[in-house]
Amino acid sequence: MLKRLALLLLLATPAHAVQPDEVLSDPGLEARARQISQVLRCPVCQGENIDESNAEVSRDLRLAVRERLVAGDTDAQVIDYVKSRFGEYVLFEPERTGANLILYWIGPAVLVVALGGVFLWLRGRRREDEAGATVLSAEEEARLTELLKE
Amino acid sequence: MIVETGHFALILALCVALVQAIIPLVGAQKGWSGWMAVATPAALAQFLLIATAFAALTYAFVVSDFSLKLVYENSHTDKPMLYKVTGVWGNHEGSMLLWVLILSMFGAAAAAFGAALPERLRARVLSVQATIGVAFLVFVLFTSNPFLRLEEVPFNGRDMNPLLQDPGLAFHPPFLYLGYVGLSMAFSFAVAALIEGRVDAAWARWVRPWTLAAWIFLTIGIALGSWWAYYELGWGGFWFWDPVENASLMPWLLAAALLHSAIVVEKREALKSWTILLAIMAFGFSLIGTFLVRSGVISSVHSFANDPKRGVFILFILAFFTGGALTLYAARASNMQAKGLFSMVSRESALVVNNVLLAVAALVVFTGTVWPLVAELVWARKLSVGAPFFEKAFTPFMIGLALLLPLGAMMPWKRARLGTLARPLLPALALTLAVLALVWVMATGRPMLALGAAGLGAWIVFGALAEIWQRAGRTPGRVLRLPRADWGKAFAHGGLGIVFAGVGLLMAGQIEDIRVAQAGESFTVGGYTITLKGVEEVPGPNFTSKTATMEVRQGDKLVATLHPEKRIYPVQAMPTTEADIDNGVWRDVYLVIGDPQEGGGWAVRTYIKPFANWVWAGCLMMAFGGGLSLSDRRYRSAAGAHRSVAPNAVAAE
């Protein structure tokens, strides 16, 4: 009785990330499973993926992912399978659809605009500089020679 | 009694800060010297008062005064002394007190060392600094007061989260806050300059060391946090793109940009209004970070207890300071006349590109961090943005930065020619190709990532060496006599290269093994033979531990005997994993002991982590480079340098 209770308590402590009994014997499939579990979010934790999470549901998901892979699904099919059950929330890499495109393109777009702006600004200023230089040079040169004489 | 003294000192500090915020500012507007002179003693007094409050709270933690609610909730008599002290800032209230302490410390430092600053600028800087102080002191006293008592004194405390009971994390927050809050100096200088309507080389010479100091602290703080995550969380991850980590990365990126643009203001009197904007944004992002961590709008493993009232308050502070400063900026920035002109290919334009890349990278991190919030508010979509997104969206900017860095760093001011520029870098390019060839031969795992990281890292490091060689006029005797700023630049850039190489090579080549091992069993991982000798129960001060003894051998040679642990902290009823690591220059052997298995034996995890220590060594090198640059003669004699321009400033009035 006591022994069983002890065992129960041991099992009740959170299982830590991937357990040895989950690992698939085929190293190729296992590697794919690990990669997939790193882009799936644990639905009940705070910002952990199912690969590193200790939650029960993450263990179930890790096992489900492996089951699908063994059954011959592609990576995309497995991810779709999990998404169909838990929603968009579990994808750590949001889908590139709709408003999410803003998220994906804001960096490149701002970069291009900023670099373009800098280019036009520098070119404009060089023109200004050249124009300004020719207007001022006669006056300035006269003053310069004057100053140098003193 | 001591605790009440602390509480009283904190209230008094708020009063002093109010005086310091108003009187010198009015004095500076009206030109009244007496009013302006209030700023210096007020800044010192404010610091001493907050220091008294902080000392009182520390005392309460040290003697385990459980009549204080905060001590009861976060401490325990059995906790080791180190963690009683660091427990002061291991919670929301105490860490906010540390925040205002550091804020007032920077103000006091500017008052103490700012004797050579023009009277008006000093008065305005200290006044702006005090305004930030007022806002946060009100926040501490009214929403997060650490000095609240309990009516009935409990017998013992609830202890601190065991994950936080660790030397790496104990000193991570002070460094991080020194960085976050240090950026308030740049902000105060920027706002003071906007009120004044003047930015010149002397101004930049004052702003840059404060920014540099803040950036150094931020670098060390981030590195400590990442190192802690590496050894404490039990599987050797070191960066998770968690909202709270991103909150520290954004100000770091902007501070790095600000450091570089301040050089352009200092040397060439160009990019003035952009530099002001960066100074405002860098501190603005520090405030955003504070908001993200403490409001609970974005869930994160790191965040403190959620309290919407606090969140709203910080949001108000954030809106007031960044909104106010940006309005002032919009009104005044056009006054900033740029003097130095430069061509399309020049040091200046290279630094502009550096700034664009760093600022857009910060924008990408920011968008990714708040995107789940935006999507939920606007489109009612519940989604997540995590590591896979950031790795793809952020990395290209770092690659661009790494490719351009050695070229930009070599460019002369005003005008450069690419042909003459490239020649001194040819040896660096050749060495980089050699490194690439070496990695090509040796790489396992993800070879393209390894190649990219090693190539970029080598290019930056060899580029920095080539620059030192070029600066010294290709004469070995002069290399050691170069100014410290030159060495600082080489170390900071080289450190960045090492971080890039370390991160990439670690991610590309790590080996992992998960298995059940019986006591006495041996197994092989990545060329190492690991033996689980046995597991013993060992009592600790406030935990019990299952400590394994494991041997790592390479061939017949014993490399290390490691003792990974699994601890249970009974007060918090929380297990933690303590990995044990054999650190090496080229690889870490990282061992973790898991749970006992039903059929006997233990779950054992083994990781071989190539180049892991390069990540933190590179960070330390960057910080060291910053320190060298900070100790350069031109800042040590900044007071003297300023006096030479002072007559002009007087004449202009």
ipTM of the complex: 0.83
Considering only residues B166 and B486, tell me which one the structure prediction assigns the higher pLDDT: B486
Question: A6 — contact with chain B (CB < 8 Å)?
Answer: no
Residue B431 buriedness (CB in 10 A; 0-12 / 13-18 / 19+)? middle
Mean pLDDT, to the nearest integer, of B503-513?
Answer: 89
Based on the fold, state whether residues B152 and B177 are members of the same structural domain: no
Full DSSP string of B54-104: HHHHHHHHHTT-TTBHHHHHH--TTS-HHHHHHGGGSSHHHHHHHHHHHHH
Based on the fold, state whether residues A29 and A82 are members of the same structural domain: yes
Tell me the CATH number at B312. 1.20.120
Structural domain includes residue B438: no
Mean pLDDT, to the nearest integer, of B205-225?
Answer: 92
Based on the fold, state whether residues A86 and A133 are members of the same structural domain: no
Based on the fold, state whether residues A74 and A115 are members of the same structural domain: no
Helix/strand/coil for B535: strand
Based on the fold, state whether residues A73 and A14 are members of the same structural domain: yes
Could you tell me which chain A residue has the CA closest to the CA of B365? Answer: A107
pTM: 0.89
Could you tell me which chain A residue has the CA closest to the CA of B245? Answer: A47
Based on the fold, state whether residues B203 and B352 are members of the same structural domain: yes
Mean pLDDT, to the nearest integer, of B196-205?
Answer: 85
Write out chain A residues lying below 8 Å of B363, CB-based. Answer: 106-107, 110
Confidence tier at B642 by pLDDT (50, 70, 90): very low
What residues of chain A, 69 to 128, have a C-beta less than 8 Å from chain B?
87-94, 98-100, 102-104, 106-107, 110-111, 114-115, 118-119, 122-123, 125-126
Question: A16 — contact with chain B (CB < 8 Å)?
Answer: yes
pLDDT at residue number A128 = 64
The tens digit of pLDDT for each residue in B438-463 reads 888 887 777 788 888 899 999 999 99
Based on the fold, state whether residues A68 and A134 are members of the same structural domain: no
Based on the fold, state whether residues B207 and B330 are members of the same structural domain: yes
Tell me the CATH number at A86. 1.10.8.640
Residue A85, domain extent: 2-90
Considering only residues B126 and A22, tell me which one the structure prediction assigns the higher pLDDT: B126
pLDDT at residue number B645 = 41
**Between B514, B516, B575, which is nearest A13 by CB?**
B575
Based on the fold, state whether residues B144 and B37 are members of the same structural domain: yes
Subunit contact B360:A110, Cβ cutoff 8 A = yes
- Whether A99 has a pLDDT exceeding 60, the answer reads yes
Confidence tier at B541 by pLDDT (50, 70, 90): confident
To the nearest whole Å, the CA of A56 is away from the closest chain B CA by 15
**Between A14, A41, A106, which is nearest B363 by CB?**
A106
Subunit contact A20:B381, Cβ cutoff 8 A = no
Tell me how long chain A is.
150
Look at A98-107, B308-317, B517-526 and tell me which has the smallest mean pLDDT: B308-317
Q: Which pair of tokens denotes residue B330?
A: 């919009």
| Chain B interface, best mutation among A50, A66, A106, A120, by max B CB count within 10 A | A106
Structural domain includes residue B417: no
Look at A130-134, B285-289, B493-497 and tell me which has the smallest mean pLDDT: A130-134
Could you tell me which chain A residue has the CA closest to the CA of B568? Answer: A13
Look at A102-106, A125-129, A131-135, B227-231 and tell me which has the smallest mean pLDDT: A131-135
Confidence tier at B192 by pLDDT (50, 70, 90): very high
Full DSSP string of B215-234: HHHHHHHHHHHHHHHHHHSS
Residues 6+ apart with CB under 8 A from A68: A77, A78, A81
Subunit contact A111:B356, Cβ cutoff 8 A = yes
The tens digit of pLDDT for each residue in B69-101 reads 888 888 888 888 888 888 898 888 898 999 999
Write out chain A residues lying below 8 Å of B597, CB-based. Answer: 20
Based on the fold, state whether residues B247 and B130 are members of the same structural domain: no
Based on the fold, state whether residues A79 and A114 are members of the same structural domain: no
- Whether A1 has a pLDDT exceeding 70, the answer reads no
Of A49, A64, A90, which residue is a domain's last? A90
Subunit contact A107:B594, Cβ cutoff 8 A = no
Give the residue from B260, B246, B573, B374 showing the smallest Cα distance to A103.
Answer: B374
Structural domain includes residue B543: yes
pLDDT at residue number B153 = 83
Mean pLDDT, to the nearest integer, of B126-151?
Answer: 92
Structural domain includes residue B280: yes
Mean pLDDT, to the nearest integer, of A13-35?
Answer: 77
Of B134, B165, B196, which residue is a domain's last? B165
Of A90, A111, A137, which residue is a domain's last? A90
Of B165, B196, B227, which residue is a domain's last? B165
Mean pLDDT, to the nearest integer, of A15-26?
Answer: 76
Subunit contact A107:B371, Cβ cutoff 8 A = no
Helix/strand/coil for B450: helix
| Chain A interface, best mutation among B303, B345, B514, by max A CB count within 10 A | B514
Based on the fold, state whether residues B144 and B179 are members of the same structural domain: no
Q: Give the distance, in angstroms, between the CA of residue B400 and the centroid of all CA atoms in the same chain.
A: 22
**Between B235, B299, B360, which is nearest A114 by CB?**
B360
Based on the fold, state whether residues A14 and A85 are members of the same structural domain: yes
d(CA B359, CA B284): 13
Based on the fold, state whether residues A21 and A78 are members of the same structural domain: yes
Give the residue from B160, B164, B304, B299 showing the smallest Cα distance to B229.
Answer: B164
Based on the fold, state whether residues A6 and A39 are members of the same structural domain: yes
Could you tell me which chain B residue has the CA closest to the CA of A51? Answer: B235
Mean pLDDT, to the nearest integer, of A100-122?
Answer: 92
Considering only residues B166 and B272, tell me which one the structure prediction assigns the higher pLDDT: B272
Q: Which pair of tokens denotes residue B623?
A: 């910080």
The tens digit of pLDDT for each residue in B54-65 reads 999 999 999 988
Could you tell me which chain A residue has the CA closest to the CA of B517? Answer: A20
Average pLDDT of every residue of chain B: 87
Split into its structural domains, chain A has a count of 2
pLDDT at residue number B129 = 95
Q: Give the distance, in angstroms, between the CA of residue B29 and the centroid of all CA atoms in the same chain.
A: 36
Based on the fold, state whether residues A52 and A73 are members of the same structural domain: yes
Confidence tier at A115 by pLDDT (50, 70, 90): very high
Based on the fold, state whether residues A40 and A110 are members of the same structural domain: no
Helix/strand/coil for B607: strand
Structural domain includes residue B96: yes
Write out chain A residues lying below 8 Å of B349, CB-based. Answer: 118, 122
Write out chain B residues lying below 8 Å of A97, CB-based. Answer: none
Write out chain A residues lying below 8 Å of B300, CB-based. Answer: 46-47
Based on the fold, state whether residues A15 and A85 are members of the same structural domain: yes
Residue B26, domain extent: 1-165
Look at A134-148, B147-161, B346-360 and tell me which has the smallest mean pLDDT: A134-148
Could you tell me which chain A residue has the CA closest to the CA of B604? Answer: A20
| Chain A interface, best mutation among B384, B392, B399, B590, by max A CB count within 10 A | B384
Residue B561 buriedness (CB in 10 A; 0-12 / 13-18 / 19+)? middle
Write out chain B residues lying below 8 Å of A126, CB-based. Answer: 341, 343-344
What residues of chain A, 36 to 65, have a C-beta less than 8 Å from chain B?
38-39, 41, 46-49, 52
Split into its structural domains, chain B has a count of 3
Of A90, A120, A137, which residue is a domain's last? A90
Could you tell me which chain B residue has the CA closest to the CA of A117? Answer: B356
